[in-house]
Amino acid sequence: MLSGQITIQKLLGSMKKLDASDLHIKVGIPPTYRVGGLLRPIQADPLSEHDADHLLDPIVPETLRPRYEQTGNLDFATFNPEGDRFRVNMFRAGGHTHAAIRRVKAEIPSYGELHLPRVYSDIVENTMEGLVLIVGVTGSGKSSTIASMVEHVNATRAENIITIEDPVEFRFIPKKSIVSQREIGIDVADYPTALRYIVREDPDIIFIGEMRDHDTVLAAIQAAETGHLVFGSLHTADTMQAFSRILEFFEPKDHGFVRHALAITLRAICAQRLLPALPGPKEGHDAKIVPACEVLLATPTVRELVREGGDTDLPTIVSQGEAGMQSFTKALCDLVNKEWVAKSVAMDYAPNRDALDSMLKGLQVKGAALLTRIKSAGSSGH
């Protein structure tokens, strides 16, 4: 028995009561929850090496245990009797087992529950094919956002939806759509194998849990080129970094091809960051964390810039708010004005503190001249 009668089942069960998003297991400290964005250790003795190495034993799938022994890393999902699912990442550090466990609520959240802007719904309703990317750092809510978008399709359209996930987090119950969820390591060996066969499975909608390398990015682009709607996630801080991240997976000689393909297939890139909310219920929400969202939509001007490598001009396009686009600065300004987030918190997350301060004071920097120049150059070149 572990010291202090601590069990992984009790720790997971307490996450719902505490409204904790994450649980961290590490040698030398007590089990630690993340609540409202802040780390809070439980009142217990620090975990010994033996405790940390064996705490997760009851929930590790036997079929996956050899992978952890060989690689020192393992992702899997588990659930408790209350219906909550948990995404578990085990990793070896200092010769012992550490873990980061994310609680995934049983219900798939709606756009409103996630406090996402209306444009997210518009993207799904108006997009039948192409590539939609949700990007952000770890813990930014990418999985919940994509799940809400896929569920929107499931509830409103008759489509064949196939997901490839590592691990499966949200479980979709087929409504108007058919939904097949393939989990890496259980249903299929790896991403390349799953992606090799996916177009033979007659999908309309494809969800790739994480675009993590050359093969997954190329497969996503090719599937979007052939008339599928592809949702994918990338680990980047904002929409602009998504382009450089994608290009990193390819040789320089292939960058022209990739840019051309993205200019054709890309529909939207949505980046998000989760911020601690002001305490107490506010008009429109009672959450402990709220998202700041940056949205880039593939307008004709954006497609031309992507094709020609004009990425540095994209922030100006986004800042103009055309067709529902939105910059992080604008999103942060709105959160402060609605009193959902403290100004000091918004400043800490702002990509440009001076720009946010100016916007909050109503002194937005106008970029109309640059926007006109970009559009003029695009139209004259074609």
CA distance 150 to 362: 37
**What are the structure tokens assigned to 132, written together?**
């939609």
pLDDT at site 367: 47
pLDDT at site 381: 56
Q: Class of the 111-381 domain? A: alpha beta
**What are the structure tokens assigned to 256, written together?**
């022209």
pLDDT at site 364: 46
pLDDT at site 373: 63
Place of tokens 């396009």: 317
- Tell me where in the chain the CATH 3.30.450.90 domain(s) lie: 7-104
What is the full per-residue pLDDT of the chain (382 aa) written as tens digits?
344 578 999 999 999 899 898 999 999 999 999 998 889 999 999 999 999 999 999 999 998 899 999 999 999 889 888 778 898 999 999 999 999 999 887 789 999 899 999 999 999 999 999 999 999 998 899 999 999 999 999 999 999 999 999 888 888 999 999 999 998 877 888 888 998 889 889 999 999 988 989 999 999 999 999 999 999 999 999 999 999 999 999 999 999 999 999 999 999 999 999 999 998 666 666 678 899 999 999 999 999 999 999 989 999 999 999 889 999 999 999 999 999 999 999 999 999 999 999 999 885 444 455 566 666 666 655 5
Place of tokens 């691990």: 167
pLDDT at site 283: 67
Nearest to 130 by CA among 263, 23, 10: 263
At CA 222, angle to CA 310 and CA 208, rounded to 5? Answer: 95
**What are the structure tokens assigned to 315, written together?**
């922030």
Query: Angle 118-126/142-156 helices, nearest 10 degrees?
Result: 50
Architecture of the 7-104 domain: 2-Layer Sandwich (3.30)
- Tell me where in the chain the CATH 3.40.50.300 domain(s) lie: 111-381
Nearest to 375 by CA among 327, 325, 316: 316
pLDDT at site 190: 87
CA 370 to chain centre: 31
**What are the structure tokens assigned to 317, written together?**
């396009």
328 neighbors 346 (Cβ within 8 angstroms): no
- Collapsing DSSP to helix, strand or coil, 131 comes out as strand
Q: Which are the contacts of 324, defined by CB distance < 8 A and separation ≥ 6? A: 117, 118, 119, 122, 295, 297
